[in-house]
Structures are given as structure tokens and as C-alpha cells.
Structure 1
């Protein structure tokens, strides 16, 4: 199951290689169906589509109902929907902030909860939650993003502790800068393009490490050498220093 985040499209090739059919979830029906058609043609798998907007609080329940109606089960769940505000917290309309929380906190948690009973009954399941290396970075001024990704990281580890005895692996995938449409959608492409090339990863590399991690039962995956080194360097930073760094690296200035 795939809530929208275009750079994780390579997950499909990886998952179908392990013999799984697919349920694709996104807002844009035309792109979704085009992708499903491609996957059916190239891999000979069943690929169903569910058009849904995860900013709608009713979407997770409707998605699971649709899956049941198709007579399919969710053995692998990839929670990878992405959204971020373009302005500081106090300057952002509440509806925009609520949508960010709905997509990346509530929907992730609810979808996971709704598929777990089936996974537990079958004693097998794999869940990949898209967190970020930002989850172990200093908080950014005016941003919910780092707090949200920290929640996803901690939730995933807690669930992995609970569910591993039932044959279910949960992995928080924590990439850094990855080539995707995210920056185009959020209007930050100019800023992203000014970053040094060595900081960026290809989506195929991120997906490969994330999928290997969840299959191996690793609760956290930080893909790529640069991000591993960055995360290791940031962990020992005292809270006060992290706060000052966050002020210095204000993304809105």
C-alpha cells in the first residue's frame, strides 16, 4: 500500500520482486492508474488503485474498506506520504498545519493500526514508515517537520518492540536529501538545488536499504554513508547546543 511520495516509486519493483501484489494509494488518479498499468505489464502482478487524499480524516478507514472489498490483504504497508509547510508556524493557516499533521501523523498511525489485526492473525507483516534524518537533527525554527519525523521514528521503534514476537517487522526509514518531486511540490527547489551534490541520494538506493532493513528486522534505517555519519555526529549534541543550531539554521531566513 502506497500513500503518495513519488521518490519511493522504486519500492514497487523491489516489493513485486518478492512476489507481492500491490495496492497503490494516491490523490492523482491518472498518474496512479498509469503506474498500475506499467506494473501489471512489466511484472505480471495484480496492481489495484485507490484514489484518496490523506488530508481527509476519513481516508484511512475508506482505504482499508476498499482493500477488503477487493478481497486483498495488506502484508506490507509503506507509509510514505509527505507534506510540509512553506511558512513559519505562526504565519501558516491552521488548515494547512492540520493537513500536515493528518497526513504524516494521524494517517500513518491509523493505517498501521487498521492493518495490524490481520498481520497478527497471519503472524507475518512488514511496515516501513518514512521518517527522516531530521528526526535526529536539531529542531528547525517554526517547523513541525522535525517533531513529526521524530514521532514517526519513536512510534516505529515502539511498535517493532511490540510486534516482532508476532512476526511483524516495523522499520523507520530515515533518509536525508533524496532526489524527488517533494521540493517541487513544496516550492523549495531553488534552495535544494544550491546544496552540494554529495549530500543527495538516489531514490533507488534509499529504497534498497530500507527494504533490506525491514526484511532483516532492523527497526531503524539511515541510508547512505553521508547521512549515517551526519546522524552519528548529531546524536551526542547537548539539547541546548541543538537549540542554538536550530536557530542558526532557520530555513525561513
Structure 2
């Protein structure tokens, strides 16, 4: 069996940058995304430059049995996951009733269900070996309710709390778990969501910086990481209660995504 780092959403953005930095560390990789073409374009130079094995698995993670299919493919190729990076995800924004229900359903399938299912599928073997790691990509949006990002912020709150719970469970069993909670990052996320106004604070960072800080935090088994001082301050210094007041205040910040606001 070949030990690999499995990266979902590896066709662009943070996923592609995780692949680059991990390959530079000498890690063998398995890349998972809906589109094989961009992953093949990424894989070829990584193999040549770093002399690592890079496997490409085409899989839409919105499908109900996506995690099982990925796990079967890993077994068929003789791959054993040492590091799982649940990076795949997308968002929606706007008035909840105007967002297509299927779009929000697919968002939860990718952001929440696939993350949970892949963790279920791959962590037991890590525990048996007594080593391994999981990185789940959450968001600063997961620290509070966000009007006009209702499903996205709720899903990322799940990812954050799910990750911290597992970090607590596994921290003395050899498996590291880290929630990555970035603010706005210069990736295709904003093309998919449909507006750059979704970068609510307007300040973007780069995938290179986010991934470097994430891998450093994972090495230290920090549990979660919020890259960037302003993002860290926003996530930790704003009050959490009273909850209804904070939900109302969030609307003042996030309503810019509405063209009529």
C-alpha cells in the first residue's frame, strides 16, 4: 500500500495549493474533484518536479454515495490515506427563498455530508495504525450566524464544531484533526458564488499563505486555525450573545451581497 494525502476539491484554489505544498514535502497525493482535466494538469508537473505519486479521482461529492466510491477507488489503487484534507466546498448567498433549493442541498452534500462520510470512511484505519491527520476546511463564517449566507454559515459551523470534537476525541490516539477557518481567499470560490461582494470584509489573502499557516498549525496539532490577524480578531473578539442581536447585526454587514440592499 502507498501512503497518500487525499485532497478533495483539488482542481483549483486551496485544494490545488495544498497539493503543491504537500508534494514539495515529498507527499504522495490523491486528488479528488468533479473535473479531471484541471487535476491532470496539476498532477503532471508535481510528479515531475517532486518525484511523487499523484493519483486523480474524478468524483462529484454532491452524490449520495460519493465517499464510498472514493474509498473503493483508493482500495483498488492500493492507496492508504495518511492525511485527509476535506477541502471541497462552495457557497450560496442572497435571500434564502430566492436560492434554488437544489443548490443549497448540493452545498450541504459537499460541505457537510461528504466531509463527514469521508472522515467516517478513512479515520478508522488511521486509528488502527495509531497515526494520521484530518484537515477540514471551515470558514470564519462558521463562528456566527450570517444573514444572506444562511446555509453556508450553518454548514461551516458544523464543520468547525465537528472538527474540534474529533480533535478532542483523538488527540491522545495519534490522529490529528484541524479545522481551517479562513476569511476571504483569492480563489474561484467567488466566481462560483456569483459575486465578489461575498468577501464581506473586502480583504483577500492568498492560497499560498493560508495553506502554509494551515500545515504549520497541523504540525502543532492546534485543533483549529484562523489565518490572518484581522480574521482572528473578528472571529474571537466579537460577542456571541445575545444571539438574536448578533444575528440582526450580521445582516448590517452581509446585506451588501443584495443588489437592492
Which TM-score band (shorter chain)? over 0.9
Q: For residues 19-168 of structure 1, what are the structure 2 equivalents within 5 Å?
A: 19-141=26-148, 143-168=150-175
Answer yes or no: is the 8 Å Cα contact 2:7–2:18 preserved in 1.
no
Paired residue total = 250
SS of equivalent to 1:85: coil
Post-superposition shift, 1:193?
A: 8.0
Post-superposition shift, 1:236?
A: 4.8
2:187: which partner in 1?
180
Post-superposition shift, 1:187?
A: 1.5
Answer yes or no: is the 8 Å Cα contact 2:94–2:148 preserved in 1.
no
1:7: which partner in 2?
13
Structure 2: distance between partners of 1:134 and 1:78:
19
SS of equivalent to 2:187: coil
**What whole-Å deviation, never above 9, does each CA across 1:2-36 have from its counterpart, x for those lacking one?**
21162212212322233320000011111111111
116-125 or 140-149: bigger deviation? 140-149
SS of equivalent to 2:7: coil
Q: Does 1:215 align with 2:219?
A: yes
Answer yes or no: is the 8 Å Cα contact 2:93–2:148 preserved in 1.
no
SS of equivalent to 2:80: coil
TM-score where L is the length of structure 1: 0.92
21-30 or 87-96: bigger deviation? 87-96
Structure 2: distance between partners of 1:91 and 1:43:
47
Structure 1: distance between partners of 2:244 and 2:194:
31
**Is there any run of 5+ residues in structure 2 with no aligned partner, and where?**
1-5
- With CA pairs under 8 Å and 6+ residues apart, which has the higher RCO, 1 or 2? 1
Structure 2: distance between partners of 1:112 and 1:188:
31
Post-superposition shift, 1:215?
A: 1.4
Post-superposition shift, 1:239?
A: 1.6
Post-superposition shift, 1:90?
A: 1.8
Structure 1: distance between partners of 2:70 and 2:239:
37
Q: Provide closer, same or farther for how the CA distance between residues 120 and 142 of structure 1 changes in structure 2, counting only shifts above 3 A.
A: closer
SS of equivalent to 1:166: coil
Structure 2: distance between partners of 1:87 and 1:200:
21
SS of equivalent to 1:73: strand
Post-superposition shift, 1:192?
A: 5.5
RMSD after superposition: 1.8
